[in-house]
Each structure stands twice: as structure tokens, then as C-alpha cells.
Chains A and B, each alone.
Chain A
Amino acid sequence: MRECLSIHIGQAGIQIGDACWELYCLEHGIQPNGIVLDSQENQLENAKMEHTNASFDTFFCETRAGKHVPRALFVDLEPTVIDGIRTGQHRSLFHPEQLVSGKEDAANNYARGRYSVGSKVIDLVLERTRKLAEQCGGLQGFLIFRSFGGGTGSGFTSLLMERLTGEYSRKTKLEFSVYPAPRISTAVVEPYNCVLTTHSTTEHTDCTFIVDNEAIYDICHRILGVERPSYANINRLMVQAVSSITASLRFEGSLNVDLIEFQTNLVPYPRIHFPMTAFAPIVSADKAYREQFSVSDITTACFESSNQLVKCDPRLGKYMACCLLYRGDVVPKEVNAAIAATKSRHSVQFVDWCPTGFKVGINNRPPTVMPGGDLAKVHRAVCMLSNTTAIVEAWARLDHKFDLMYAKRAFLHWYLREGMEEAEFLEAREDLAALERDYEEVGQSF
């Protein structure tokens, strides 16, 4: 029961997915071929005899041969990146049908991802999704991994989300999205893709957790001592946050948080569903055992900009809701003390209409680190998801870049050529402007 389906779209989504399932396998003791390691198996047996162990079930499907297959789907409109998975370390973990690739890519073009090229693959993807959903006893919802700036990540995801809402209307859909970084960009037409996809996906997603590359890049560089972080380094750090968010679904804990609970507690209004992610502590492997981080230390660290996975200054806004997901050696007494201390700080301002503001989840499995990775093993960690009005800064930046390009109709013909109309651009931009206004409105005092 309570299964979750992960869908990884586009290059970013797939590479994050690769790191993500690698980490999940490490945490659950699953080897690259899907078989559980012996010692864990025994533990499982013991545990099973006492009560049904549902922890694997949410994310892995067990075949009769004893192999654990991830409940995941990898989709891309061109084969290169998925071929990396097909020939990579985890190739025997996934069933070939879970890796869907097209032949012609979206070329950083939302229109291609959504209309021309995407429409050819969508039916196949939906069919595979159906198959995976049928294997679930009680599907909770979908976790979508994608980037905003790419063609597939923006265009195809919009198309998919629309169709998923049609077929699975009552299921939760959460997104982990890579937002275009303020100063680092990988595509010139990022602003277009981003605005268009946000406009079309907003009504279909329940909650979007955003991260941006620049923030994680800075963390890797300054704190972890990696001189030139590669995507591998960045993704490994990001999936630690993803793992913390899904830990409650995969392990029993003293204070579990379901997918629906995220929505209920983080999203005050349907459109205001873009929480910011932060993670603590982030300790370099070279500095293992140096410092011990108490619960109050890591809670405070979450509110510092150096631990945020998004480049945004929360001091410029107000918090509407905060979800603190602890894992490891944590007791509720310490958590309450830490939260009380945070509330009393001036720099952490909540909106008037949300007095309590905090949702806590505790899971007792400490974070697992990849062997040979950049992070040191710690006894406890926390991932904070905070819905703050300061995120409007990110949208404003994006809208500004969009306006500059659109004013000159630059690069527009690539979209128009694929069947889009200028009206769609205007509509999307209007929607984002309305989103900005919504944020401003909720942040105002009575």
C-alpha cells in the first residue's frame, strides 16, 4: 500500500534519478542487480515475522525471483542519456520497459517537447505508467523529476502532467524541479521554457520542490572543498535532500509524513506551492568526526542561506509554512526546543495568518552517504521545506529575463514554427505575473 511512482523526465531528471536510485539502493541494502544483501535479508525476515514490513514496498516492487525493481519510469526524447543508464552500473536494476527514449530530441524547445516531438511518445509513456500503476496496491501519487529550462523537461512534462491529471485525478503529484540558476545558465531560451512550463503545470501539480544549480554548486565548492563541482557532485547532494523527503515513505519512523501531508501542511493556497529546500548539516568527508551537530545546530543551519539549495534570500520575505524532516538520532524534546528557539529569532518572520507554522517529521534512519563521496557520515540530519514569500524574487528574475527576450521576439520563431502561437506566450506571462501578485498578497499583513 501507499506506493509512489517516480517519473524522471529529460536529461536533468534522468541524471538525478540515477543518483537517487543509487542512494535508495544503498539505504535499503539492495545491490545493483536488485537483490538484497544477505545480512539485511535476515533482518528483514525477523522483522517480517513480527509485522508486515512495508518500507520497501513504497518504492520498490518485488518480483517472484526476489529482485527488487524500482517503481520508476525514465523518459527522454533522445536516446543518449538513457543509454547511459542502459549501460551503466544499475542497468540490471531496471526493467527495459522502464527506460523510454525517443529518437529526435526537443532541442531545448518547449514547443517540440510539448507538441511536435512529445506527442509521439506520450501514449507510450502513459501506457507504461499504467502498467506500473497496476502493480501497485494503493498508489499514493507521483514524484516527477525534471528541469525547467530544458526542452523535454519543460515541454514534455507539461503534456504528461495534463494527461496524468486526466487519468489519475485523485492522485498526488509532487515535483522536484531544477530551476534555472540566476547567474549560471545552460540554455539561452531557458526563460521561455520556464515560464511556459510553469504556466501549464501549475494547475496540475500539487507541490513543486525547487532546487537550483548555482546554490548547490556554491555549497560543493565552499563547504565540501570540491574545486570544480560536476553534475555528479551536485546531484549527489540534491538526492540527499530528496531522500530525506521520501524517508518517511520508505522507513518506519516515530513521526511519519505522507505525501498528502506535505500538501496539506505546506500549501496555503493552490497556486502558492513552491517551497524552498534546505539541508543540514553538510560536512565534508575530510572533516569527519570533527564536529557533532546537535538538533538545535542543524535546525538553525537550515535557516541560513549557505545551506539552502535555492538562491533566494528568505530574510526578504515571510515564512508561510515550514516542514522539518529529521532523520537519525533525534528526539521530539530536542526538536521542540529547537523550534521554540527559531521562532524567537527576529530573522525568521512568519506571516500573520499562520501562527504555528511548523510541521515536523522524524525518521530514525540516519542519512547514508555514498562511499567515496564528498559528504561525511553524520548521526542526524534535517531537510527543511519552507514555503516563503521570498521565492517571488526567483519568479521576478525569470519574468524579467523573459520580458527582455520577448520584447524583441528573439528566438520566438523556433516555437512558432512548431505550432505554437504568440498568444500562448502572453497568456503564460500573464499567469506568472498573477503568481507574483498572489505571493505579494499573501505576504501582506492584515
Chain B
Amino acid sequence: MSNTLTPDVIGRRVEVNGEHATVRFAGVIPPLAGPWLGVEWDNPERGKHDGSHEGTVYFKCSQLSKLQEVSLRNCAVSCAGEKGGVAEACPNIRRVDLSKNLLSSWDEVIHIADQLRHLEALNLSENKLKFPSGSALTGMFSALKVLVLNQTGITWAEVLRCAAWCPGLEELYLESNNIVISERPTDVLQTVKLLDLSSNQLIDENQLYLIAHLPRLEQLILSDIGISSIHFPDAGIGCKTSMFPSLQYLVVNDNQISQWSFFNELDKLPSLRALSCLRNPLTKEDKEANATRQLIIASIGQLKTLNKCEILPKERQTAELDYRKAFGNEWKQAGGHQDPDKNRLSKEFLTAHPRYQFLCLSTCVYAGGLQVADFQLEQSFPLEYGAPEDWELKTQQPFMLKNQLLTLKIKYPDQLDQKVVEKQLPGSMTIQKVKGWLSRLLKVPVSDLLLSYESPKEPGIEIKLENDLQSLRFYSVENEDCLLVRW
């Protein structure tokens, strides 16, 4: 078998215990067994000799046993070398980057890694590794915490097989593998905290159920998989799901999310604290970015960080108040009522706005996060949001002249035969101008006219419009009021 280390490794950098060196020689040194790496230390005072050994000039280094981090990317490494060779040479390696090499099967990987008892992180990206058909493969990467298998063409079944060798695995990266999650991991992957499934376009939301019960999964990266919806059928409206119990940070950038129901579903996740959902059709960057952010905050109650920006309590309060006001009319039409006894909301409304009723409650509890001994005290902000009032729900009319007009009735109390006329007048019209118009209409001189008005809200009370220079609005004349003209 050839050596682990091909001539391409010459010139590579290695680090041993904080000291750095450049590989100057790789190969066999007869009569010694195993592959050797000759390194030139950066520090000229280190090292045992000038590179010659027993007459033959080449480098030799015996400090390889302290080697901790090795990067052999793109080195055309194709196999593990002699059995035990690596273990003998550098048994303390913690992190190995073997990405973009020529390893062709898991056999070789196991042979290399089996000898490294302390291996914590292994990067095998961009290798096309084959699984031998027999199931005789056993290996234990007992210390392995991080496994990177991006762009390896691995299948889910193979992932589970690898996972069986890594009982303590915490981070698993499987980007761009065209993975289809085909089965639920039962004994494996139970310790995984971070799972990166980005750019696996064949994953859909149903497959996610299969990984929904990983007990320690805290961070799930689902960027660029083409997902557009998610659903947790085991939880009703406003309830928490039993799926993804520990999930704290979810990344769904670059997907096809276009429905608000997506965020309503995310509210069901019990531990979700942070979300990144950039570059989706619904959250496109434009003037509405702020409004979108507010809606997401209001939809997911326990969210603390959105798109890597912390959500401060004040921001949450504003977002929730705006949400309550924005959908107030819909709530009314769906049967909402300030009086809780008369409140009968339709199913559609509850499905579309599951948190709305919660926002209307009189007290809401916010996590201020005071950690006292073993439990967390939640700081309560007594929020008297309440159900939205009618005056809050009046929509703001655009500023156009026709919206500024007051519809008024004109009565002539002293003239019994004149009809009541309805007329639209701008609120900014001065009394003088009103009189002038009336004068032309009634053929009565201006100086003879006496104007006053009464409001249907307060019948019987008549308010005189005495100052000619003031406007109708000055006198608080409103829509549906009645102008009384006497002469």
C-alpha cells in the first residue's frame, strides 16, 4: 500500500501544540517503519537536526505525536497507508480536513480515523465515498463531535450508518447532497445538536417529520431547500407541538415561503428562540421590510432573535399592538367582540391569526430572563392590550378633498315649506363663504342670515356659528350634522 501522504503534501502547513511548521519531506525512511513527515519548524531553534539521518539527507521529526490539527485538503490523499501507521505517527490529531481528496470508500476513512482516538472533527466534503455492500464495517469514532459531509453524494441511509460509528456526534453538515430523508433515526443521531441540510432540494416538509424527534437538536439549517410550508399536525391552534422539542435556532433563508401560515406554525415550536428567514418571496427586501419583520415578531411569541437581530421588549410590544390593530376589522367581521361573552370567532380567523386572542388578554408574560438559582423568573409586564376598540379600527382615509367634505343637512326652521337639503361642504369653508353661498341660493342678503347647527349626537342643543372668519371645522361641525339657517 502506498503512503497516506503523497508528495503533494510537501509545503503544507501543520501545527503542533501552538508551533507551526512546513512539511518538507513525506515518505519512508528505511529501516524505520511507517510513513514519516519531515517538518521544518518556523522557529529556527526547534528541531533536532538539519535534516540528515544516518548519512542520508532528509528531514525527520519526532514531534508528530503532538500534531493536533491537520489540513490535507486537495492533496490527492487516496488511502490510509499501512495499518497502524497513522496511529504510530500522530495519534493525537483532533481535527482533520480531508476534503476534496481522492478517498473512494468509507473503508479507507475508517482505517484512518480508527487510529485516531482523539479525533473530534472530520471534514470529508467533496469526496465521493462508496459504501461496501457487506455490513461488516465496524468502527468507532468515539470522540468525534463534528462531521462534515458536504457535497459527497451521500444518501440518508448511509448517513445513518456513519452515525452509528459516532455515538457522541454533535454537529453534522450535509449540504448539497440531494438527500431524501427516508427513515427515522432511532438509535443514532440522538446527541446531534446542529444539523445542516442546506441545498438539498429534494427535501420536503413531510420528510422533516422523520427528524422531528431528535431530542437534542438545537440548530437546524434548512437554507435553499425549496420549502414553502410547514405543518405540525399534532398541535391545534395556539398549542405547542411535541416535534423538535429542543430546536432553538431555525434557518430557512433562500426558500419559497410565501404564506403567513408558515410563521403561525413556527409559533407551535416549544423552544424556538431565533429564526433567520431572509430572501423568501414573502420577506423580500423592499419598503415593506419593516412591516414584514413586525408581523413575524407578532406571529411567533417566544422569538428573541430574528435575522440575527435581537428583538427588544419594546419592539415586540410595538409589533404586537400593530398586529392587533391591523387585523381588528377582520376580527370584528369574524365575530369578535369586546365583551368576552359575545365573542364567537370563526374558524378561518382563528386559523389565520392563532395568537390574536392571546394578544387581547389583559396580562401578558414576557421573559425578562432573570436567572435565579435553577429556575428562570419571568418578568411580567402587565399589558392591558385588551380587545381592540372601535375607534382604533377606523381606517385612515387618504387625504383627498372628497374625504374632507362634510355631508350636512340644511334646515330652515322658520320656513315651513322649504325642503331639507343635503349638501357636501368642505370643513375648511369659512362661515362667511357659507353665508355667501346660502345667500345666492336663497336670494336673501348675507347680512340677514343667522347660522347655527345641531348634532344628532346631542339633540336639542344648538350651537351658533357667529364668527364669520372661522371655518366649519373650528366649530366642530361633523358629518351628519344639521345646519340651521334663519333670516
Asked if B253 and A225 make an inter-chain contact with CB atoms under 8 angstroms apart, the answer reads yes
Q: Is A446 an interface residue (CB 8 A)?
A: no
Asked if B71 and A286 make an inter-chain contact with CB atoms under 8 angstroms apart, the answer reads no
List the A side residues contacting B267 at CB < 8 Å: none
Interface residues of A (CB under 8 A from B): 43, 46-47, 50-51, 224-230, 233, 252-254, 286-290, 292, 329-331, 333, 364, 374, 379
Asked if A292 and B253 make an inter-chain contact with CB atoms under 8 angstroms apart, the answer reads no
Q: Is B344 an interface residue (CB 8 A)?
A: no
A371 → B minimal CB distance (Å): 14
List the A side residues contacting B13 at CB < 8 Å: 329-331, 364
Q: Which of B14-52 contact A (CB under 8 A)?
A: 15, 17-20, 22, 42-43, 45-46
Q: Is B73 an interface residue (CB 8 A)?
A: yes
Q: Is B150 an interface residue (CB 8 A)?
A: yes
Asked if B17 and A43 make an inter-chain contact with CB atoms under 8 angstroms apart, the answer reads yes
Nearest chain-A residue to B21 (Cβ)? A364
Asked if A252 and B150 make an inter-chain contact with CB atoms under 8 angstroms apart, the answer reads no
Asked if A51 and B42 make an inter-chain contact with CB atoms under 8 angstroms apart, the answer reads no
Candidates A51, A229, A286, A330; contact of B253 at CB < 8 Å: A286
Stretch at the interface among B110-118, B301-309, B454-462: B301-309
Asked if A46 and B17 make an inter-chain contact with CB atoms under 8 angstroms apart, the answer reads yes
- Between B15, B20, B253, B289, the greatest number of chain A beta carbons within 10 A of the residue's beta carbon is seen for B20
Nearest chain-B residue to A331 (Cβ)? B11
Candidates B19, B42, B278; contact of A227 at CB < 8 Å: B278
Q: Is B177 an interface residue (CB 8 A)?
A: no
Q: Is B125 an interface residue (CB 8 A)?
A: yes
Chain A interface mostly helix, strand, loop or mixed?
Answer: loop
Candidates A47, A226, A290, A379; contact of B18 at CB < 8 Å: A47
A-B residue pairs in contact (CB < 8 Å), sample of 18: A43-B18, A46-B17, A47-B18, A225-B253, A227-B278, A233-B308, A252-B43, A253-B42, A288-B196, A289-B123, A289-B125, A289-B175, A292-B99, A331-B12, A333-B11, A364-B15, A364-B20, A374-B308
List the A side residues contacting B20 at CB < 8 Å: 254, 364
Q: Which of B154-206 contact A (CB under 8 A)?
A: 173, 175, 196, 198
B277-320: CB near A (< 8 Å → 1, else 0) gives 01000000000010001000000000000111100000000000
Nearest chain-A residue to B123 (Cβ)? A289
Q: Which of B267-281 contact A (CB under 8 A)?
A: 276, 278
Contact A286/B221 with A329-B71, A331-B11 known, Cβ cut-off 8 Å: yes
A42 → B minimal CB distance (Å): 9
List the A side residues contacting B251 at CB < 8 Å: 286
Given A286-B253, A292-B100, 19 further pairs, Cβ under 8 A: A43-B18, A50-B43, A225-B276, A227-B278, A227-B308, A229-B309, A252-B43, A286-B221, A286-B276, A288-B196, A289-B123, A289-B125, A289-B150, A289-B173, A329-B71, A330-B13, A333-B11, A364-B20, A379-B71
Give complex CA distance A226, B71 in Å: 31
A39 → B minimal CB distance (Å): 10
Interface size on B, residues (CB 8 A): 38
Q: Is B223 an interface residue (CB 8 A)?
A: yes
Q: Is B148 an interface residue (CB 8 A)?
A: yes
List the A side residues contacting B198 at CB < 8 Å: 287, 290
List the A side residues contacting B306 at CB < 8 Å: 227
B178 → A minimal CB distance (Å): 16
List the B side residues contacting A229 at CB < 8 Å: 309
Nearest chain-A residue to B278 (Cβ)? A225
Asked if A364 and B43 make an inter-chain contact with CB atoms under 8 angstroms apart, the answer reads no
B89-101: CB near A (< 8 Å → 1, else 0) gives 0000000010110
Asked if B42 and A290 make an inter-chain contact with CB atoms under 8 angstroms apart, the answer reads no
List the B side residues contacting A330 at CB < 8 Å: 13
Asked if B42 and A252 make an inter-chain contact with CB atoms under 8 angstroms apart, the answer reads yes
Give complex CA distance A383, B175 in Å: 29
Candidates B22, B42, B289, B307; contact of A225 at CB < 8 Å: B307
Nearest chain-B residue to A227 (Cβ)? B307
Give complex CA distance A287, B276 in Å: 12
Give complex CA distance A50, B19 in Å: 12
List the A side residues contacting B253 at CB < 8 Å: 225, 286
List the A side residues contacting B309 at CB < 8 Å: 226-230
Candidates A51, A225, A329; contact of B308 at CB < 8 Å: A225
List the B side residues contacting A51 at CB < 8 Å: 43, 45
B184 → A minimal CB distance (Å): 25
A297 → B minimal CB distance (Å): 13
Give complex CA distance A373, B46 in Å: 37
List the B side residues contacting A364 at CB < 8 Å: 13, 15, 20, 42
